[in-house]
Structure 1
Amino acid sequence: MKINLCETNLDGHHEIYLENLLNISSTSKLFIDIKIEGNKKRIFNYIFDRKKLIKKFLSKDNEIFHLLYFDMIYTYFPLSSLNINKIILGTLHFVPEEKLKIILLKNFSKKIDLIVVHSEILKEKLLKIGIKNVEVVHYPSFYDYSIIEPKEKLKKKFKLEDKIVLTTLGGTRNDKGLDILLESFKYLNSELKERIILNIAGKEETFKKEFIVQKSKENKINIRGKYGFLTDEEFMENVLLTDVMVMPYRKIFGGNSGPMTEAIVNKIPCITPKGLNIGDLTEKYDLGLTFECENPKSLAETIEKMILNKEKNEFFTSDYHKKLTVENFLRSYEEIYSKLEKGEYK
Structure 2
Amino acid sequence: MKILLIESAVTGHHLSYLNAIIEKQVEGNEVYVILPEKCEISNKVKKQINIKLEKDGKRDYFKWIKKVNDVIDEIEPDLVHFIYADDLYRYFGIGIKKPVKYKSVLTVHQLRRGKLHDLSIRMLSAKFSSTVVHTAALKETLGGLKIKTVDHIEYPQFGAHEKEAQEKALESLGINKDEIHGKVLLCLGGTREDKGLDILLEALKEVKEPYHLIVAGAEQHFKRDFIEKETEGYKDKVSLFLEFLSEEKFGHCLNAADILVLPYKKAFDGASGPLGEGVWVEKEIIGPSHGSLGDIIEKHHLGRTFEAENAQDLRRVISEELKKNDFEIDEKYKEYHKMMDVERFKEDYDALYKRLVK
Question: Which residue is equivalent to 2:328?
Answer: 315
Does the 8 Å contact 1:175/1:249 carry over to 2? yes
User: Are 1:329 and 2:345 an aligned pair?
Assistant: yes
Question: Which residue is equivalent to 1:38?
Answer: 55
Question: Which residue is equivalent to 1:306?
Answer: 321
**Mapping of residues 2-81 of structure 1, within 5 Å:** 2-24=2-24, 25=26, 26=29, 28-33=31-36, 34-38=51-55, 42-46=57-61, 48-49=62-63, 51-56=65-70, 58-59=72-73, 60-77=75-92, 79=94
Which amino acid letter does the alignment assign opposite residue 168 of structure 1? C
Q: Secondary structure at the match of 2:225?
A: helix
Which amino acid letter does the alignment assign opposite residue 273 of structure 1? P
Which amino acid letter does the alignment assign opposite residue 13 of structure 2? H
CA distance in 1, matches of 2:93, 2:160: 44
Q: RMSD of the alignment, in Å?
A: 2.1
Does the 8 Å contact 2:52/2:64 carry over to 1? no
Q: CA offset at residue 273 of structure 1? A: 0.8
Which amino acid letter does the alignment assign opposite residue 66 of structure 2? K
Q: 1:137 to 1:78 in 2, by over 3 A?
A: closer
Q: CA offset at residue 219 of structure 1? A: 5.0
Q: CA offset at residue 11 of structure 1? A: 2.5
Which amino acid letter does the alignment assign opposite residue 288 of structure 1? G
Structure 2 gaps, min length 5: 37-50
CA distance in 2, matches of 1:99, 1:28: 37
Does the 8 Å contact 1:37/1:49 carry over to 2? no
Q: 1:78 to 1:97 in 2, by over 3 A?
A: closer
Does the 8 Å contact 2:211/2:237 carry over to 1? yes
Question: Which residue is equivalent to 1:116?
Answer: 132
Does the 8 Å contact 1:141/1:326 carry over to 2? yes
User: Which region of structure 1 is more displaced relative to structure 2, 6-15 or 123-132?
Assistant: 6-15
Which amino acid letter does the alignment assign opposite residue 180 of structure 1? I
Question: Which residue is equivalent to 1:103?
Answer: 119
Deviations 1:289-344 (CA, angstroms, capped at 9, x unpaired): 111111111110010122233x1x452411211101011111111111110112xx
Q: 1:230 to 1:156 in 2, by over 3 A?
A: closer
TM-score by length of 2: 0.86
Question: Which residue is equivalent to 2:177?
Answer: 160
Q: Secondary structure at the match of 1:22?
A: helix
Q: 1:78 to 1:9 in 2, by over 3 A?
A: closer
Q: Secondary structure at the match of 1:58?
A: helix
Q: CA offset at residue 28 of structure 1? A: 1.6
User: Are 1:254 and 2:269 an aligned pair?
Assistant: yes
Q: Quick one: which of 226, 229, 240 aligns to 1:225? A: 240
Q: Secondary structure at the match of 2:215?
A: strand
Q: 1:216 to 1:91 in 2, by over 3 A?
A: same
TM-score by length of 1: 0.89
Q: CA offset at residue 55 of structure 1? A: 1.2
CA distance in 1, matches of 2:276, 2:113: 23
Deviations 1:278-297 (CA, angstroms, capped at 9, x unpaired): 11211111111111111111
User: Which region of structure 1 is more displaced relative to structure 2, 136-145 or 151-160?
Assistant: 151-160
Q: Secondary structure at the match of 1:165?
A: strand
Question: Which residue is equivalent to 1:202?
Answer: 217
Q: 1:201 to 1:58 in 2, by over 3 A?
A: same
CA distance in 2, matches of 1:36, 1:175: 22
Q: CA offset at residue 208 of structure 1? A: 1.1
Count of matched residue pairs? 332
Q: Quick one: which of 84, 87, 101 aligns to 2:99? A: 84
Q: Secondary structure at the match of 1:245?
A: strand
Question: Which residue is equivalent to 2:292?
Answer: 277
Question: Which residue is equivalent to 1:134?
Answer: 150
Does the 8 Å contact 2:98/2:128 carry over to 1? no
Q: CA offset at residue 137 of structure 1? A: 1.1
CA distance in 2, matches of 1:155, 1:200: 13
Does the 8 Å contact 1:50/1:76 carry over to 2? no
Q: 1:68 to 1:83 in 2, by over 3 A?
A: closer
Which amino acid letter does the alignment assign opposite residue 301 of structure 2? D
Question: Which residue is equivalent to 2:194?
Answer: 175
Q: 1:225 to 1:79 in 2, by over 3 A?
A: closer
CA distance in 1, matches of 2:285, 2:351: 31
Q: Percent identity?
A: 33
CA distance in 2, matches of 1:314, 1:38: 43
